[in-house]
Amino acid sequence: MNNTFQFYNTLTRTVETVIPHEEGKIAMYTCGPTVYHFAHIGNLRSYIMEDVLEKSLRYVGYDVKRVMNITDVGHLSSDADTGEDKMLKGAKREHKSVMEIAKFYTDAFFADCAKLNIKTPDVVEPATNCIAEFIHMIEVLLEKGCAYLAGGNVYFDTSKLKDYYVFSSQSEKELLVGVRDDVEEDANKKNKNDFVLWFTRSKFEDQALKWDSPWGVGYPGWHIECSCIGIKHLGEYMDIHCGGVDNIFPHHTNEIAQSESYLGHPWCGYWFHVNHLNDKSGKMSKSSGDFLTVSLLEEKGYDPLVYRMFCLQSHYRKPLEFSYEVMDNMSAAYGKLIKKIADLREEGEVDLAFFDHYRQKFVDALSGDLNTSMAITIVYNLLKEDVNDATKLALVKDFDQVLSLGLQAAKDKIKADQSDVDAELESYILAKIEERKAAKKAKDFARADAIRDELLEKGVALKDTREGVVWSLVN
Ligand code: AMP
Ligand code: ZN
């Protein structure tokens, strides 16, 4: 492979070239959603950027295997193992069973992903599928002396590690930046950062899903699922692990602790974290219940791909502030871009030298710490170039394998938008005809005539026939 690919590795705190464990192949893992509610557009920012990372790696020639878990058990309302299970909270809110909630919101998550052109990972595994694997890993950790039993629960013993704060040589306070909600102290823990591997006892006795285990009937802690599911599908060495920045601590820190203690060697070399989407009042979070979804954006008339473009226009490492004003500008820019591409004609021969030269520019932008806004600028620059349309079209289609902005289907998109407008116009005309009928019935002939004139001004003529009113477009 000629291309090197670089991004910011949270583990080493530098922009680094990815050197996979097995040449030409990338084992990639993504922390999936906790399916107790709809994904908000903040969550989806992370998934969009991870999708671009995966597609960029494929674009430069890597054979990528990507795995994602679905958190359907064990994620408590505080990331620090206290509070109620989030899934149970969702089930209570909607008077449904936990598994019904999990199914509904898992489907809703993938429907949102499809609208945003986010590819489904090669493997998707719900946590509740893997209870036997979790129990096995916990048994090994106990055997190795890295875990202990206390108050009915199994805890990971962080004092057995050389370096718990692997992600930062700086203060613990800095790592706590992403931790959500209140943190209560658990008197069973030997060390402050120890975390639960298996619960048999919690303050919340009504945990719905429980399984038999050597330590009693109970349920797994949150972090164990990503270690187990990662190792199950990708083997002992993972190349890239992704998530939002709030996952750095404690979730990813704890994943490393338990995976490396279990395996007895380093586990994952590169950690890719996406910064948060905020709104004016701060970070968007599911637990607050007040958040924006893809459906809400659609209801307000935005194409979900406009939101994808909004995310790609900003660097994944920077916080991003959402506003409708910016979305409106993005919508206009997206419409213009699609129109320009739709106007290109499939004529002439592709200029291969030009194609390769531009493709390399695109690769350089992506492999230079995933510079997606530069990648979009390259598309704009291309459209201004003095080269035939066939070459431009071929490049746009090629780039869209990574950008996934619907650029490949620009012509179809314009047609679909036009038929939307037609449908809108038709329903407007029919409403006006009904209004005129009502005015006539009420003997308000002045109003009826005004409606007829109003429509005529818009290029629509009405004709009263025995069969009823018929309309036609006039020039
Ligand atoms: P969750 O469903 O809460 O487990 O989160 C799913 C993914 O979204 C994780 O990778 C989180 O780190 C990420 N995430 C959560 N909140 C935000 C946000 N406001 N902006 C970007 N990513 C987020
Ligand atoms: Zn995870």
Q: What is d(CA 397, CA 48) in angstroms, rounded to the nearest whole number?
A: 19
Hey, what are 58's tokens?
């494929």
* pLDDT the model gives residue 458: 82
Task: Kindly give the distance from the C-alpha atom of residue 34 to the centroid of ligand 2, in angstroms, as a whole number.
Answer: 10
Are 433 and 469 within 8 A, CB to CB?
Answer: yes
Residue to mutate (ligand 1; options 34, 43, 255; most atoms within 8 A of CB): 43
Q: Is the pLDDT of residue 5 over 50?
A: yes
pLDDT category at 147 given cuts 50, 70, 90 is very high
* pLDDT the model gives residue 151: 92
Cis peptide before 250 (omega within 30 of 0): yes
Ligand closest to the CA atom of residue 34: 1
Q: What is d(CA 399, CA 337) in angstroms, rounded to the nearest whole number?
A: 14
pLDDT category at 181 given cuts 50, 70, 90 is very low
Ligand closest to the CA atom of residue 268: 2
The mean pLDDT of the chain is 90
Instruction: Tell me the pairing of strands 153-156 and 195-199.
Output: antiparallel
Q: What is d(CA 116, CA 344) in angstroms, rounded to the nearest whole number?
A: 24
What percentage of the chain reaches a pLDDT higher than 90? 70
The burial class, CB within 10 Å (0-12 / 13-18 / 19+), for 238 is: buried
**Residue 273, C-beta contacts closer than 8 angstroms, at least 6 positions apart:** 10, 242, 243, 244, 245, 247, 248, 317
The whole-model pTM stands at: 0.86
Give the 3-state secondary structure of residue 169. Answer: coil
Alpha helical stretches, state H, 270-351: 294-299, 304-312, 324-342
Which atom of ligand 1 lies nearest, measured to the CA of 243?
10
Question: In 3D, which of 82, 44, 80 has the Cα closest to residue 244?
Answer: 44
Q: Please report how many Cα atoms fall inside a 13 Å half-sphere around the Cα of residue 457, on the Cβ side.
A: 6
Task: Indicate if ligand 1 lies below 6 Å from the C-beta of 277.
Answer: yes
* pLDDT the model gives residue 178: 45
pLDDT category at 466 given cuts 50, 70, 90 is confident
Task: Indicate if ligand 1 lies below 6 Å from the C-beta of 247.
Answer: yes
Are 373 and 381 within 8 A, CB to CB?
Answer: no
Task: Indicate if ligand 1 lies below 6 Å from the C-beta of 314.
Answer: no
Instruction: Tell me the pairing of strands 282-283 and 219-220.
Output: unpaired
Which atom of ligand 1 lies nearest, measured to the CA of 31?
10
Are 158 and 191 within 8 A, CB to CB?
Answer: yes
Ligand closest to the CA atom of residue 230: 2
What percentage of the chain reaches a pLDDT higher than 70? 90
pLDDT in tens, 413-448: 777 766 766 788 888 898 999 999 999 999 999 999
Which atom of ligand 1 lies nearest, measured to the CA of 277?
20
pLDDT category at 82 given cuts 50, 70, 90 is low
Task: Kindly give the distance from the C-alpha atom of residue 233 to the centroid of ligand 2, in angstroms, as a whole number.
Answer: 14
Which atom of ligand 1 lies nearest, measured to the CA of 286?
3
Q: Is the pLDDT of residue 288 over 70?
A: no
Which residue has its alpha carbon closest to ligand 1 atom 6? 33
Q: What is d(CA 353, CA 359) in angstroms, rounded to the nearest whole number?
A: 10
Question: In 3D, which of 82, 68, 106 has the Cα closest to residue 225?
Answer: 68
* pLDDT the model gives residue 244: 97
Ligand closest to the CA atom of residue 243: 1
Task: Indicate if ligand 1 lies below 6 Å from the C-beta of 243.
Answer: yes
What are the φ and ψ backbone dihedral angles of 126, each rounded to 5 degrees? -70, 145
Selected residue with higher pLDDT from 85 and 386: 386
* pLDDT the model gives residue 76: 64
pLDDT in tens, 83-121: 677 877 888 888 888 888 899 999 999 999 999 999 999
Q: What is d(CA 42, CA 33) in angstroms, rounded to the nearest whole number?
A: 12
Q: What is d(CA 187, CA 155) in angstroms, rounded to the nearest whole number?
A: 12
Q: Is the pLDDT of residue 387 over 80?
A: yes
Please report the sign of the dihedral spanned by the C-alpha atoms of residue 299, residue 303, residue 304, residue 308. negative
pLDDT in tens, 233-272: 999 999 999 999 999 999 999 999 999 999 999 999 999 9
What are the φ and ψ backbone dihedral angles of 291, each rounded to 5 degrees? -150, 165
Which region among 176-180, 294-298, 340-344 has the lowest average model confidence (pLDDT)?
A: 176-180
